[in-house]
Chain A
Amino acid sequence: MNKRQEQGFEHPVPSDITPRGAYRDRRRFLATVGVGAAATVAAVAAQRAHAVPAADASHPGNLPLLPAIKNVALSTKEALTPYKDVTSYNNFYEFGTSKSDPARNAGSLRTQPWTVVVEGEVGKPRTFDIDDLRKLAPMQERIYRHRCVEGWSMVIPWLGYSLSNLIKAVQPTGNAKYVEYITLLNHAEMPGQNDPILQWPYLEGLRMDEAMHPLTLLTFGLYGEVLPNQDGAPMRMVIPWKYGFKGGKSIVRIRLVEKQPITSWMRAVPQWYGFYSNVNPNVSPQNWSQANERRIGQGGFGGLFAPRIPTQMFNGYGEQVASLYKGMNLTQDF
């Protein structure tokens, strides 16, 4: 649209018009200035001090905030997947097998009080209260890529700290070769467990060196807040170079063991789901290709016209983790 000159008044094009929110903020700011010089300085300082955390934590889920330091070194700079998608589209079979089920059904889960037993091949077995676990190490925000074995992916700002902090705290013995982590078993609060679709409780595990890897995140929150129930509250595992199902949710028990655990998915469909389940575009023991992925929340028209993006080996974390698998045949050990 062109600008029109009429009766000495220049009609603006829509893009010239200052949004209402912006000029209202400006007017409010000017009003503050009017109070006085000292007050102005104080007000601006206050506004600035307030502005930083407010911009960081937009408080999208209205859940309690979880203060954290940004770990820029371990974060991707890719565009975040909207909070709405992260919290309404995911797999959490304890609440149903459809990806809209967790958000719909997870309200029944009670996450307070919550304790986590850490046991097995450890010198100091202990039952932690969830509040103590949150304070065990400094909370960090890490923006990770998240790749589901179904062929979709997200970019999520998680809050947590490296699992290695917890493992060190309980002093593993020389026999600790693997770590298994177990989700809550509660048929009343997790209605999906009435369906014998998987062996409950959900069990996942890692090799010790994988568990001790700094990228492996013991996760308590996302988007600046505590985890919503449907994403695995109050505590879950996030292993960014593996398929999403390796990240056990609503964990109540962590066990250090000598033998490789048989995970829930290995038990259910052994020919498709292996213990490692590293993201690998070249290997698809399942029935469909893992060569590329659909990034949720990207692209116009509700994401319909967003091109698929090529899947990266180890989900793009190869530089950090490839050495863990040196000498292994990843086609067989999938």
Chain B
Amino acid sequence: MISVSIVGGSGYGGGELLRLLIGHPEVEVKQVTSRSHLGEYVYQVHPNLRKRSQLKFSDPSTIEAVDVLFLALPHGAAQKKISEYAALGTMIVDLSADFRIKDTALYEKWYGAPHSAPEWLPKFVYGLPELHRAEMSGASYISGVGCNATAANLALLPLVQAGLIEQSAPTYIEIKVGSSESGAEGNSGSLHAERANVVRTFSAFGHRHTAEIIQEMGMTNASLTMTAVDLVRGALATVHATVKAGVTNKDLWKAYRAAANENPFVRLVKEQRGIYRVPEPKIVIGSNYADIGFELDESNGHVVSICAIDNLMKGASGTAVQCMNLMMGWDETLGLEFTGLHPI
């Protein structure tokens, strides 16, 4: 049994992380911090945790040393205090964007300011196990992943790993996202009257998560288009790319089958029968699965690759727990066995 704490536990990512860690068989949660909810029971903010935890939110200045410290702070906060956090956690998993991008110039381009602790960037492993599993074993520091980047990267994974597309060619990635991606703080656009029934393309290109696709997939000419839809949870990435000359449907089957076989949370969904023939976010809600699928127009080489995830799970907290499992040398599925719901 190891000790863990969460710094910044009142947001949606922190709440989901706490839900997973409370149920994890090898973990004891010591502290969860929140300045804005100091002294409140965690279930008063995360009501699904009622009767599962009697923890109260702590002051961040009272955090004690633990085996694994999870940072679930707003972007930019962790990098300013990373040395202090490293003194408290033997291992750190940071869910924010602060340590995802290794190239300081790339970071500055997409995040609009220089990094506060560039010397720490090489110490962190990028937190997607499907890409960095081997490096995570024995690692001390792992970054978070962008939810949209994760949906896109896992849609691209079979195509890139098998070398089926030109990574420098223009690749268009349409992502539909639910409202929980914008966090628990709220703004005028998150009022129910404004957010309900939305199908709104809020970022045609230039989304920050593009940097993670460039870094992790070598997709130097990828463009991300973000559309908000009427979901609370869920992200669906639809990648449009062109396969290399001669690539066939069977080559794609082989590549996608391999990706699903090599990764316990990646499932190939390409059914010929029934209602659920393609990946859909609602089937993975609450689970750590990433469902992937594809269609190829062999007449012109246009491939459409799809990935559905729960943005708070595979896109954030579920993957963070998966990373902890790998750091500790445990089965990576430990505490993440929930299979989702149907119907939902």
Pairing of A with B: no
Chain A interface (Cβ within 8 Å of chain B)? none
Chain B interface (Cβ within 8 Å of chain A)? none
